[in-house]
Amino acid sequence: MPPGVAAIAMEEHTHHHGTAIAFDAAPEIGSNIRRAGEDVAAGTIVLRRGSIVDSRHLAMLAACGVRQVRVLRRLRVGVMSTGNELVEPGPGIAPGLITDSNRPMLLSLLSSPAMDVADLGITADDPDRLSGELTRASARFDLLISTGGVSGSEADYMHPALLSAGGRCRAMRLALRPGKPISAGSLGAMRVICLPGNPVAALVGYLLFVRPLVRRLIGAPPGAPSPPARTAETFFHKLGRTEFVPVSVVGYADDGMPLLRKLGRGGSARLLPIVQSDGFAQIAADVGHVPEGGLVIYHRFDSILQL
């Protein structure tokens, strides 16, 4: 800016008449002048250790003249499905087989610049083959996420395969619906989480266990807690298990909270209610029927499906 300039007039507020310029109004002293340090004063912290660098931070770093910053190595994650009944998506599925929907879902959920995520495909229900796959994965990944093989039947081999490979594993039966069976363990430095095979149960398991773990491993802060909402009808619920119910927002209560309605008949294998809903209502294990207008925790998909 030339020395002695006290204000700047916006060009669209001026009119040219030959070599003369007319102003709609005289600009105030100091108007339309951006002074050095006006946005970021010297010594201001613009990016803290542990921050996930996104497009906002890149703009700020560039504005501050920073070309490079030190970052953590990307988290290496493998995603595997198990089951003799699984096939890749496509036409002409033979009787007795089902399309693997879990792997595409998890690969999308885990998509992040902070991670390198690998698709490990479908592994058959064979303990020796599973053990070999786990051993190979342990040399490549920090975290392995699998679905299927945890319900406890004779054909569910994730737990014994992980132990056979030399790892540690804890099989659990949680007071949770959907998502009761889950296993967690490690093989060498690789952490392992084995989710249920039913897709809605796998999604709930991801939200409760995988997502918080991944955020911790990449150095991100814990996600914000989901807010409460009110029911637009009675939510019938059996005591003893925390339940996640697909719901839609049908309005807002007088206090501004969303009003939720159950969306059809849920189930751990039914994806359509999930696609048609706005999120999950969480009903605690020690809560019975929730009356109309009662409180539940509302997990909005547009928030919780982002890492």
Fold adopted by 228-304: Beta-clip (2.40.340)
For residue 6, what are the contacts with CB-CB under 8 A and spacing of at least 6? 29, 30
Residue found under tokens 């003369």: 20
| pTM of the model as a whole | 0.85
Using CB atoms within 10 Å of the CB of residue 114, give its burial: 0 to 12 exposed, 13 to 18 middle, 19+ buried. Answer: buried
For the stretch 101-126, pLDDT in tens is 999 999 999 999 899 999 999 999 99
Residue found under tokens 């495909």: 121
Instruction: Identify the CA nearest to 123 among candidates 52, 197, 176.
Output: 197
Fold adopted by 75-217: Molybdenum Cofactor Biosythetic Enzyme; Chain A (3.40.980)
- Spacing of C-alpha 28 from chain mean position: 49
pLDDT at position 197 is 94
Q: How far from 52 is each of 55, 60, 69, 210, 253, CA to CA, in Å? A: 10, 13, 12, 18, 36
Q: From the CB of residue 41, how many other CB atoms can be counted at a distance below 10 Å?
A: 8
For the stretch 207-230, pLDDT in tens is 999 999 999 999 888 888 999 999
Cβ distance 52 to 221 under 8 Å? no
φ/ψ of 185, rounded to 5, equals -170, -155
pLDDT at position 34 is 78
Mean pLDDT by groups of 10 residues along the chain of 307 residues? 84 87 85 80 88 89 92 95 93 91 97 94 93 97 96 80 95 94 96 96 97 93 92 96 97 97 83 94 96 98 90
Cβ distance 209 to 184 under 8 Å? yes
Residues of the chain with CATH 2.40.340.10: 228-304
pLDDT at position 265 is 67
Residues of the chain with CATH 3.40.980.10: 75-217
Instruction: Identify the CA nearest to 248 among candidates 306, 206, 302, 305.
Output: 302
**How many helices (H) and strands (E) are present in the chain, helices listed first?**
8, 16
Cβ distance 202 to 102 under 8 Å? yes
pLDDT at position 41 is 87
Beta strands in 83-125 (DSSP E): 86-87, 98-99, 115-123
